[in-house]
Structure 1
Amino acid sequence: MDPEELHLQVLRLLDHNPNLSQRQIARELDLSVGKTNYAVRAVISRGWVKAHNFSNAPDKRRYLYRLTPAGVSEKAQLAYRHLQRKRAEHQRLMEEIEALRAEVEEAQVEAEPTERPAGPQG
């Protein structure tokens, strides 16, 4: 997963559930907790997310993650760029599928037995 896609996925998760732990985010994205920590710190350092400590939580490491206005805007821009990449990928796949389809049809035509002319019936 490239960094832009990772940031987009983190922003999406935190937008939908701001009180996810990094362990839960890691599980959702199928990442290590270390890589998740790196990604969460990246979106925080860019000012896209604010982390607020739960003062009454028994585990003082729990945070509430809120997207900032810049984070909401960046999430939309990341989503747009992700969509553009996926559309281009889709177009390339469709072209490859068409080329393969033509290749298969050509191979089938070549493999068909040729008809023999009708000879004398004996």
Structure 2
Amino acid sequence: MTNRRKNSRDEDVNFRALRILESNPQISQRELAKALGISLGGINYCLNALVEKGHVKIANFRSSQNKIGYIYELTPEGIAHRAILASRFIKRKMAEYDALKAEIESLQADMHANVPVEDG
């Protein structure tokens, strides 16, 4: 996998994680991993990187029955970073959409060009 593709994939995971954490700060790492379709170790790595960059702050959820429960809070830097990632995500997805649409149109043109004409 090229570095560019890996970076895009990592950005997509970070963006989606930030969106989920913003709307559900009490989510467990296991639930977040499942929602993103990545391993528990992968989400742990992702969260640690977001914390290290100052985009997410982790706090104990004191009133939780689960004493190891945490709240994941987006910092102001995290909110700004999510907005940047959202813009990049939209640009990538629009480019993918345009490429897919062009490929479908090309395949449809090929298909129509290769369909035998029936004499009536």
Same fold? TM cut 0.5? yes
Alignment of 1:1-122 (within 5 A): 2-108=9-115, 111-113=116-118
Give 3-state SS (helix, strand or coil) of 1:59's partner: coil
> Could you list the per-position Cα deviations for residues 54-105 of structure 1 after superposition, in whole angstroms to 9, with x for gaps in the alignment?
2344433211111001100110110110000011111111111111111111
- Which TM-score applies when normalising by structure 2? 0.85
Give 3-state SS (helix, strand or coil) of 1:23's partner: helix
> Aligned in 2, Cα 1:56/1:98: closer, same or farther, shift over 3 Å?
closer
5+ residue gaps, structure 1, are: 116-122
State percent identity of aligned pairs. Answer: 37
Counterparts of 1:114 and 1:17, CA distance in 2: 63
5+ residue gaps, structure 2, are: 1-7
Which has the larger Rg? 1
- Which TM-score applies when normalising by structure 1? 0.84
Counterparts of 1:102 and 1:73, CA distance in 2: 44
Aligned length: 113
Over the aligned positions, Cα root-mean-square deviation in angstroms equals: 1.7
